[in-house]
């Protein structure tokens, strides 16, 4: 990988525990913490592409996507398609209520 990071530390971890899930998650966290989300994504997908037998490492790209989602949507109070939280008391008023039944449903009764 051509990116700067704690590669010597990862190498030492992998010598002690080959395929270390914890070591690779720490690398992902390092990249995320240093504002290198795209590098974390590239690292996770690169690692998962070479580890079809290690289910724990295959999940690393999912963790990167969760990190990205949390970064985009903050504390999760808003929905995925809106920026502002919606007052649950007003929620029913936001949906249109049809005044007449649908013709297909009316024909069956």
Average pLDDT, 10 consecutive residues per value, the chain (109 residues): 79 89 91 89 89 85 89 64 63 60 58
Residue pair 84/51 in contact by the 8 Å Cβ criterion? no
- The pLDDT value given to residue 84: 63
Indicate the domain borders of the chain.
Answer: 1-74
Q: What is the pTM of this model?
A: 0.61
CA dist 109 and 107 (Å) reads 6
* Residue 71: predicted pLDDT: 82
Is residue 32 within 8 A of residue 67, CB to CB? The reply is yes
φ, ψ for residue 36, nearest 5 deg: -115, 60
């Amino acid at each position: 990988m051509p990116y700067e990071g704690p590669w010597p530390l990862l190498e030492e971890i992998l010598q002690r525990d080959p395929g270390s899930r914890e070591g690779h998650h720490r690398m992902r966290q390092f990249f995320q913490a240093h504002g290198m989300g795209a590098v974390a994504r590239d690292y996770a997908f690169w690692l998962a592409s070479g580890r079809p037998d290690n289910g724990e490492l295959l999940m690393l790209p999912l963790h990167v996507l969760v990190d990205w989602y949390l970064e985009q949507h903050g504390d999760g109070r808003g929905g995925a398609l809106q920026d502002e939280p919606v007052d649950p008391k007003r929620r029913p008023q936001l949906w249109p209520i049809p005044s007449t039944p649908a013709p297909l449903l009316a024909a069956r009764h």
